[in-house]
Structure 1
């Protein structure tokens, strides 16, 4: 049924539920997985002020280095869980993209036949203001999405 599962994670405790579900499904089906972590672009609002060009450049470098380090930690943990379960897995970190765009692009390029991701379940104004990456993936993809709550 599913042979290539894309598991998107931001490393949060909640996203860990999606990782666990995705790994359990992959183990049961004998599927391989690709773990994906996405770091969004440096916030443009941080570029304000008279010394913005100098200060923001340092902040940008720190932001990117921190994002890479965090992604490595998250993805290494996911890969170790997959290895322990005997599941074939690889990891990808995509930088400077919105999570939904990166998830959709990676699903296509990897030939994934299922996307697994967690939904934070925001409602009302929080969903309106923050947007929903999960809702965007669900509405724009052509392959099944398992949303874990």
Structure 2
């Protein structure tokens, strides 16, 4: 594959392109922001398992299922390091499904890095920045208006 496959819709674009250097033979499907000075990739479909061919075949729905709300996988249920409107963040307390933001391993490697940012999985209204299982920062439980560990925003 010499040039990435490319599609553009409104403020987002997607492409299917080589991961890192084209010689390595692996490809990724990326969604990125348009109309910004620095190209910002906001989501990668196959960040943990790059494709080893150029087919770009990404299957997310059962072909026999005709209900639009029935899907096998949705990108918005698996955010990378950028939260877009409509994406989920947090923990489903009934199912235990966790949906944090993940750092990238490096600038050229979108697989999950060590750092996450998420809401408290126990249901308290607070967020944590984590390095693996180590808490780096917690906002403290919010009273519905402010987080106690956040810096003051008083500008007077």
Bigger strand share: 2
**Which structure shows the bigger proportion of residues in helix conformation?**
1
Normalising by the smaller structure, the TM-score range is under 0.3
- If asked which structure has higher relative contact order (CA below 8 Å, sep 6+), I would say 1
